[in-house]
Structure formats: C-alpha cells, structure tokens
Amino acid sequence: MNILLTGGAGFIGSNLAKTFINIPRISKVTVIDNFSTGFRQNLAEIISHPKFTLIEGDITDVEICRRAMQGIDLVSHQAALGSVPRSIHDPIATNNANINGTLNIFTAAKEAGVKRIVYAASSSTYGDSESLPKVEDIIGKPLSPYAVTKYVMELYADVFAKTYNMEFIGLRYFNVFGPHQSPKGAYAAVIPLFMDAVLNHEPPTINGDGSYSRDFTYVQNVVQANLKALFTENTEAVNQVYNTAFGESTTLLQLFNHIKSIAGSDLQPAFGAFRKGDIPHSLANIDKSKKLLAYDPAISVKEGLKIAFDWYTQNRSFYQ
C-alpha cells in the first residue's frame, strides 16, 4: 500500500513517518510538508530510504495536493498550524492551513479514489464543555480560532463520508509529547519548554498557578492509534472520531515536579498569567477507542517523560 503523510516533517508526523517506513505492507511513504513548523532534521534518518519520497509543498495549493495523491491508497493527514495562542494572534493563517488545506487534501483524495483518510483532530473541540472526562459526543463551544478549524475538519470529514462514500477516522489528540517536539519558537508546547529550561538550569514559567491539568499523551501511543485507525477492518470503527490520550490527568505543577525528579533538579518555577483560550482541565475517556479501534496506550506519562528527557539530553543541539 502507498501512503501519503501530510505534515510529515513535524513532531507527530515524523514519528509516524519513521514507523510507516518499517511496516512491510506499506510499500511507499510520501511526505508533503512546507517546513513552516516542521524540520528537515526530523526526517534525516529516513530521507534516503528507497520507500520514502518527500514533496516540499503547501497543502493550501490544491494542485500540489492532487499531484501528491496520485497512486495513493491511504492518507494520514497531520499537517496543520497548531497552537491556540498562534491562532489567536493570526486566525487567517490558521484558517487557511487547517480548513482550506484540509479541504484540498480531502478533495484531492476523493478525486484520486482514495478510500480512507485518518486525520489529526483535537481535544480543543471540546471547547467550553465542563464535563469530565471528555466523551466524544459531548462538546461545547470553541474557545479559539484553532478549535474552530479543528471542529470544521470533523464536519468536512462527516460530509465527505456521506456524500462521496469515503472512510474517515478522526483522532482527537490530547497534549501529545515526546522526541522531535521542538522547544524553540513562540508557540512551543509546555513539556519541551520545561525540559529545555531544566537542561539549561533556568526556571520555566508556568501559565497560571499550576493547577490547570491536562491528559498528557506520549507520542508512541498516538502512533499506535493512527496505525489502528489506518488498518482497522472493523466497519463500525470508520467514520467516527476518537479521543487519543492516555486517560490520566496531570496538573502543570505535577508535570514540572515529575521532570525535576527525572533530572535531579531543585529548580523552582516562575508563575505567569493564564493564557487566553486555555481551558482549566482536560481529561479523556478512551473507552470508545479501546472498544472500536482496540487502542491500548502502553506508555504512561511518567514513562514517556523519562524517554523524552533522555532524548532531549542526548540531542541538545538538535533544534539550534
């Protein structure tokens, strides 16, 4: 099978790309990326592999999407402009990449006869819903432009499935972390920021008082969910969205203390203002993904933090 992976030079995308290369039933892995947030060095291990093809291009260009889709059997759609703060700062760019780009990919896949697309949805879709843990069919109103775009992706997937007889599976990611997640840039995620700060012996800043909590999810659990979704033969599992998480809540202060313990550090954090668009708490119910996709997240938050910290320690200059 030939697979097209959008956003394959990004954090999650590059972890998927390296996994796809080593799956015998996948004969060709084509990555499309514009390197706006991805890094070439994320693909360094596989760039010369005979099964690998890189297309440097932007999914907002529908003709590039159409060319990339030729001969493709499956699509893993990871490309997006992430970050709630980025979307608040520049909603037009976020909309263009996440909605227009997604529509281009879905349309090109439809025209090329691609049967199944697995796409990166987001826990931000739950918006202002206060119910915990989060269950797939109970959502609130979006709290950021990013959340709006991710919900629209789900709506387009549902319409395309019904209108064009295609198969879609959306995976609502919850705060994914792990190797190849850059600590650099204005919109870096909290775990690489904390780890980079500890490695540099600098106190990190926690947004708020540290009581906000998240369902932090190690990236290999997310890779597993993608593989289950791409290859499931359970007809009941398709044209659905699933929480993709570990199913455990960790506050930001607990998170920092875990990292401190791993590093043997005595740093104390600074505390800043709460961020616009942030929800206080996020925790996933993963019963649906366990039942229909046979998803079984194997790596806990603490285990994942240890693996990630070892990676950052060994790759201090990776994003310099």
> pLDDT for 34-81, tens place per residue?
999 999 999 999 999 999 999 999 999 999 999 999 999 999 999 999
164 is catalytic: no
CATH class label, 2-174+219-247+289-293: alpha beta
Q: Where in the chain is the domain with CATH 3.90.25.10?
A: 190-213+248-284+300-314
Other C-beta atoms lying within 10 Å of the C-beta of residue 55: 16
Tens of pLDDT, residue by residue, the chain (320 residues): 999 999 999 999 999 999 999 999 999 999 999 999 999 999 999 999 999 999 999 999 999 999 999 999 999 999 999 888 899 999 999 999 999 999 999 999 999 999 999 999 999 999 999 899 999 999 999 999 999 999 999 999 999 999 999 999 999 999 999 999 988 877 788 999 999 999 999 988 898 899 999 999 999 999 999 999 999 999 999 999 999 999 999 999 999 999 999 999 989 988 988 877 777 889 999 999 999 999 999 999 999 999 999 999 998 877 66
Catalytic residue among 146, 218, 242, 312: 146
Please give the Cα distance from 53 to 73 (Å, whole number): 15
pTM: 0.94
Q: Where in the chain is the domain with CATH 3.40.50.720?
A: 2-174+219-247+289-293
What is the radius of gyration, based on Cα positions, of the chain?
19
Place domain 190-213+248-284+300-314 in its CATH homologous superfamily: UDP-galactose 4-epimerase, domain 1 (3.90.25.10)
Please give the Cα distance from 178 to 259 (Å, whole number): 13
Q: Contact 21/47 with Cβ under 8 angstroms?
A: no
